[in-house]
Amino acid sequence: MDFHFSPEEEAFRQEVRDFIRTEAPEGWRDGLGNDPARIWQFEREWQRKLAARRWLALAWPKELGGYGATYMEQLIFNEEMGRNRAPSFVNMGVAWVAPSIMLYGSYEQKQRYVRRIAEGEDIWCTLYSEPGAGSDLASLQTRAELDGDEWVINGQKIWTTYAHLSDHGWLAARTDPTAPKHRGISTFVVPMRTPGITVQPLVNMADGHEFNEVFFEDVRIPRENLVGELNRGWYHVAVGFGFERTSIGNPAGARRAVQDLAEICRRTMVNGRPLAARPEVRMKIADLWTQIEVATVLAYRVASLQTAGKVPDAEASEIKLFAMELNQRVSNAAVGILGLGGQVRSGPVAARGGDFSYMYLRSVANTIEGGTSEIMRNIIATRGLGLPR
Question: Which 3-state string (H, E, C) describes 136-170?
Answer: CHHHCCCEEEEECCEEEEEEEECCCCCHHHCCEEE
Q: Which of 296, 334, 326, 320 shows the shortest CA–CA distance to 373?
A: 320
Give Cβ neighbours of residue 21 (< 8 Å, ≥ 6 apart): 84
**Burial annotation 323-361 (CB, 10 A radius, 16+ → b, else e):** bbbbbbbbbbbbbebbeebbbbeeeeebbbebbbbbbbb
Give Cβ neighbours of residue 381 (< 8 Å, ≥ 6 apart): 387
**Burial annotation 181-197 (CB, 10 A radius, 16+ → b, else e):** bbebbbbbbbebeeeeb
Q: Which of 48, 51, 75 shows the shortest CA–CA distance to 312?
A: 75
Spot the catalytic one: 43, 73, 130, 244: 244
Rounded CA-CA distance 322/137 in Å is: 22
Strand 211-222 and strand 150-157: pairing?
antiparallel
The alpha helices in the chain, defined as continuous H runs, are 7-23, 36-52, 71-83, 92, 98-104, 107-109, 115-118, 233-247, 252-267, 279-307, 314-338, 340-343, 355-362, 373-379
Judge whether 244 counts as a catalytic residue: yes
Please say whether the beta carbons of 215 and 198 come within 8 A: yes
Determine the 3-state secondary structure of 121 from DSSP.
coil
Rounded CA-CA distance 82/330 in Å is: 15
Please say whether the beta carbons of 97 and 170 come within 8 A: yes
Active site amino acids:
244
